[in-house]
Amino acid sequence: MQAAASEDEGGRSESTRFLNPQQHSAKLSTRMQCDTASTASFGHCFSLTSERKFEFFAANVGPISSVLPFSHHASTDGGAKPQRLVEPAPIILDYHNGPLLTQKGSIPVYILWYGRFSTTQKKILTDFFASFGTAQPKPSVSSWWKITSGYTASGAPVAPSLKVVKQLADTKYSKGKALKLTDLEALAVASLGVFPANPNGIIFIFTASDVDVESFCMNSCASHFATEATAATGNKNLPYVWVGNPGVKCPGLCAWPYAKPTYGPQVPPLVPPNGDVGLDGMVINTASMVAGTATNPFDTGYYQGDAGYPYEAATACQGTYGANAYPGYPGDLLVDSATGASYNAVGAGQRKFLLPALWDPKTLKCTPP
């Protein structure tokens, strides 16, 4: 694939509450020195006050677009759940009157594989997407996704499933192995020679383990964006997602609990259900971004806080994968008796995954699969 940058790179105009990649990068550069208790959203991070840090870690939630463990704040008293001295504020994701991905059929998924992925690695992620349309008893990918039916716009709920429609491979690293945020948008726009300009679909850019992306492994594991509406995009804002493979560069940050945490007590990692720490971590982060994009595709959907640093459907429940979760402990999970792998959802072909809890607008609680 020969990717060419569009003439008009950037995000949506400021009036529609988007940062274009140049603004995005400039803001990011001022926040790159965030401490390890910082959180990230849309590629940004910000520092919390000491009081807010305590509330944040006690609640085990955070407004991040990446899935970071923060398990260095886990209890060291033999696994006892830390006591809360301050009750965190309740999570309420308000609706901001904008469009969601609410079509009656499946949300079309367009995948750009940037760099080298094995057939086995690709199958893990494509099987995850295939699982949305596979009716299975709870806990499953499809039952997990049903939580999003409570997110509505003009009475219409988020689409009931996702489906991979087209795939494209860029094995020659057309933008190199060190990508800026502007490169991600350029890749998304360049892919429109193969993918349709569909504002109701999602373009996924999956980067291989040898690719560096701006802010990756420093304060971000994945992000979702929307393109600027230009002639190249059919004058439409198009949702797109980036997810990196953290298996080599930062498994302790972006593939926890399947790797030892980068900071803090070195608790043993769990066994990944698909035998690939990096790809199982990518599933977690992809699931988080799928939920955020479907329920807040243009920064005018459901979120809490500032639009640039929002708590979204999954990131509001950061670090929670099962009942009784707390910082450093992902929650009570299922364990495969044959492999010892930990998971919380079953998908297509009985493949197993670990998915983040989602904030349920019906119960106002973070709900695991």
Quote the mean pLDDT of the chain. Answer: 82
Between residues 44 and 104, the one the model is more confident about = 104
Residue 3 lies in a domain: no
Residue type, 278: G
Report which listed range, 28-42, 283-297, 302-316, is most confident: 283-297
228 CB contacts (<8 Å, ≥6 apart)? 8, 9, 10, 11, 12, 13, 18, 20, 185, 237
Asked if 77 and 169 touch (Cβ cutoff 8 Å), the reply is no
Radius of gyration of the chain from its Cα atoms, rounded to whole angstroms: 19
Reply yes or no on whether the pLDDT at 61 is more than 90: no
Measured CA to CA, the distance from residue 157 to residue 244 in angstroms comes to 29
The 8-class DSSP code of residue 366 comes to E
Residue 95 lies in a domain: yes
The 8-class DSSP code of residue 241 comes to E
Residue 184: its H or E element: helix 181-190
Measured CA to CA, the distance from residue 224 to residue 184 in angstroms comes to 10
Confidence of residue 13 (pLDDT cuts 50, 70, 90): very low
3-state secondary structure at position 133: helix
- Residue 207's Cβ-count burial label (10 Å; 0-12, 13-18, 19+) is buried
Residue 4 lies in a domain: no
Residue 182 lies in a domain: yes
> What's the rounded mean pLDDT across residues 219-228?
96
Token pair for 165 = 């429609």
What are the φ and ψ backbone dihedral angles of 93, each rounded to 5 degrees? -90, 105
Cis previous bond, 139, omega within 30: yes
Reply yes or no on whether the pLDDT at 98 is more than 90: yes
Residue 2 lies in a domain: no
- Residue 27's Cβ-count burial label (10 Å; 0-12, 13-18, 19+) is middle
For tokens 């999956």, the residue is: 206
User: Among 160-174, 176-190, 316-330, whose mean pLDDT is lowest?
Assistant: 316-330
Say what the pTM is: 0.80
Q: Which of 151, 132, 150 minimizes the C-alpha distance to 141?
A: 132
The 8-class DSSP code of residue 259 comes to S
How many domains does one find in the chain? 1
Read off the pLDDT of residues 26-59 as tens digits, 9 standing for 90 and up. 333 322 322 222 333 333 222 222 232 323 233 3
Residue 8 lies in a domain: no
Residue 5 lies in a domain: no
Between residues 27 and 160, the one the model is more confident about = 160
Residue 191 lies in a domain: yes
**In this predicted structure, what is the pLDDT of residue 133?**
87
Between residues 88 and 293, the one the model is more confident about = 293
Asked if 326 and 82 touch (Cβ cutoff 8 Å), the reply is yes
Strands, E assignment, 67-128: 94-95, 107-114
Asked if 248 and 211 touch (Cβ cutoff 8 Å), the reply is no
> What range defines the domain where residue 332 resides?
14-24+41-77+88-367
For tokens 């593939």, the residue is: 255
Residue 121: its H or E element: helix 119-130
